[in-house]
Structure 1
């Protein structure tokens, strides 16, 4: 395969696989908690971290991780204590985070519009060896949390009150989900881009839910879909010279449409299979008038 001979494509494919695994692994909990847009808010906040990285001449990925974690924790605390509406807090993260990032990148001596676009929409050629090390470390953390604490995270995603009654540390686990989502955003931003990373956390999960009713099957299928679309999008971007983030998201949406179309006839067949024929229930019982009996006055 020609594209595997280029070192930057080897790095890009490795990053794509890690993103395809981690994004749906966290996204399934956000979807269950009806916080599908959380990744978008955190992504905008991470932009401020990228700007700080350029301004302070440090690694933008690590700085973005630190700022995104702080933003996610603040948003979760606001949601938990209810001091303001969740949508207002999310809007503040959207606008303040993005504006701060753009301003800081323009103020930094090494920042440019090319740097900005590579973080907003993803870029294959800019994934360095240092980025790969960072992405691997962050992805390992995400997988450790989502797989190691899968039962606890499932419990609080389904019913926080029940989880609290059973003795689970609900507040700590909620903060852990927020932190893990923030880390996932920074893992994915070099491949998908900060503006599109939320789609990769949500769309594969939504697609898997069309054909599965089990949480475990949905988890596995969404990860498989995530890896498939990120790798396909990365290879397509290499050959067609198109933005990798947009290509990956469009492929994920295509998978959602396809599985939705396949799920409709499957649902109809299941409904017919469990439907009890009317004639089987129409049993004559002495003294009991059935629905087809004539009523005479």
Structure 2
């Protein structure tokens, strides 16, 4: 086992604290879902450190409002907005084709959680299609831009919900089994961790590293499909869950992985509360599941994803 990354930050640290003293002038970043929730605070912290930041968003009006707010708060005018719908492969391809020049930081932050059963026109289950396949297609399409940057970083925003389910390769899209929103979400979040493992294996020689994370419990629009009663039940079942984080705290681990010198050359790992997580222990809601960092599952998911997108 390689040495676990230890940082001076905690669950209470904010994105601004994590990036304090880091100069991102001349660096270019993309944040998917940058107009809501922790995406806003991730983008704000990167822009505040001097990066050019593109908010990749479905709602362009919300993106423009967010960009104006970040420009006003940071004085950095290099905050851009571009359309991206991760559930639409044509939208993903168009976004990637339009992004020119090197890309230093890609934060795959957007997602849907515990959505009612829904499918893309291809018949893919929506959460897997958005949270994994959309980001997989985006990142692989942007790989030449990342490789051109030298030392680029990709941040894959996962969740402790990955502990709910491995990727069920026999029935990823719930064609045979009954649809269950949390299992579908958990599977997609496991895919986010596995992606970091295999992408790092494939791309480390290009100077591209990918890490994944659990941001913590934050009240955002991500939970729009979940009732208060359901959230309370889930938190009670998880053994007296940690307190809710602010969005500024929720973005901290993403920003750490995107910027910290402690992560230079480090990839394929899973973080929570600004620290590299250890193996999951039964009875807890922390740590990383063995199936989520299994290199064979990661390689299989990569091939399945390629085959799915090519079909």
- TM tier, smaller: under 0.3
The structure with more radius of gyration: 1
Q: TM-score, normalised by structure 2?
A: 0.26
Higher helix share: 1
Query: Highest relative contact order (Cα 8 Å, sep 6+), 1 or 2?
Result: 1
Higher strand share: 2
Q: TM-score, normalised by structure 1?
A: 0.27
